[in-house]
Amino acid sequence: MGHRAEAEEDPMLSTGEAARVLGVSRQHVVNLCDRGVLEHSHVGKHRRLRRSDVVGLLPAPPLRDVERLAWLHSAVAGRLVLDPERVLRKARANLARLHQLHPRGGAASLLAEWGRILDRGADAALEALTSRSPKAAELRQSSPFAGVLTQSERRRILESFREHWRTEHEH
């Protein structure tokens, strides 16, 4: 894969952006860099960090939350195959609103990735919605598919998931 494609997939963050992703001070990020905890490069006098390195410091979401989102997004995928135009239109509208709320930082990076996925069409969106890869699970944390499922459908899916989780994981 070319250098430009790699940069798009793993954007570089400033120490301030990294601090927002981690929920810490910028100085703490600088200290992590100085201690060798976070790899970085210099652009002039400024440090730049790969987003994946920064996100790698975050605690992983609990497995239950990851699986719950996978169940919800599988239902969204079902809607996508039934009515791709409507679902993609809804996702693009949500994405535009989310971009206004999160113009910079880690969320903005995930939203930009969703934008590239939606630009590639229904097949790419379907892959992101249903993939078990860590990247897809991370993307689903900032999903633009709110409102695709009705409240009633969402409630039924979550009830079904709770029962499934209880049966599979609490015995």
Per-residue model confidence (pLDDT) at position 124: 97
Q: What CATH class is the domain 3-55?
A: mainly alpha
A 10 A CB-CB count for 139 gives 21
Per-residue model confidence (pLDDT) at position 7: 44
Per-residue model confidence (pLDDT) at position 23: 80
Of 40, 45, 49, 41, nearest in space to 18 by CA: 49
One-letter amino acid at 107 equals: A
Cα–Cα separations (whole angstroms), residue 45 to 14, 15, 48, 55, 96: 11, 12, 10, 23, 34
**Burial category of 30 from C-beta neighbours within 10 Å (exposed 0-12, middle 13-18, buried 19 and up):** middle
Over the chain (171 residues), the average pLDDT of each successive run of 10 is: 50 90 88 92 93 82 86 97 98 95 83 96 97 89 94 96 87 54
- The structural domains of the chain, with segments of one domain joined by +, span 3-55, 63-169
Q: Name the pTM for this structure.
A: 0.68
Of 127, 123, 148, nearest in space to 136 by CA: 127
Structure-block tokens of residue 51: 């987003």
CA–CA separation, 12 and 44 (whole Å): 14
CA–CA separation, 123 and 104 (whole Å): 28
CA–CA separation, 9 and 56 (whole Å): 15
Considering only CA atoms, give the Rg of the chain. 18
Per-residue model confidence (pLDDT) at position 57: 84
The β-bridge partners of 43 are 46
Angle at 51 between CA 50 and CA 57, to 5 degrees: 105
One-letter amino acid at 134 equals: P
